Structure 1
Amino acid sequence: MAVDLSEFDHPAWLTVVGTGIGYGLILAVLTVAMFVVPWLVFSAL
């Protein structure tokens, strides 16, 4: 079964990828801000 990759050339797929990357970056920043930074502050005391 051959897969036609040209169906993924639609701009909506770029939006899906951009949304996923943006969501991942926001989650990473919030995780660092809410867990890593306080852990570093309290471990330095």
Structure 2
Amino acid sequence: MASEKHKPVSENEKDSLKGTLYSVFGLGIFIIATWIMVFSIFIDRF
């Protein structure tokens, strides 16, 4: 079997992953907030 050498993660890649993490959290918070607003509008109808 071929062995792959794992190179250490560079600082640039860490920053990129951190930015991706923040983007995913931001998108998730936006989706949850939107869902809560739409759900509250739906509940107010009754």
Q: Which has the higher helix share?
A: 1
Any idea what SS the aligned residue of 2:4 has? coil
Gaps of 5+ in 2: none
Aligned to 1:34: 34
Aligned to 1:5: 6
CA RMSD of superposed structures (Å): 1.6
Aligned to 1:18: 18
- Structure showing greater radius of gyration is 2
Moved over 4 A (4+): none
TM-score under structure 2 normalisation?
0.66
TM-score under structure 1 normalisation?
0.67
CA distance in 1, matches of 2:4, 2:36: 43
| CA deviation string 1:1-45 (max 9, x = no partner) | 543321x42101101110110000000000011123421x13433
CA distance in 2, matches of 1:42, 1:9: 46
- How many residue pairs match? The answer is 43
Among all aligned residue pairs of Structure 1 and Structure 2, give the percentage whose two residues are the same amino acid: 5
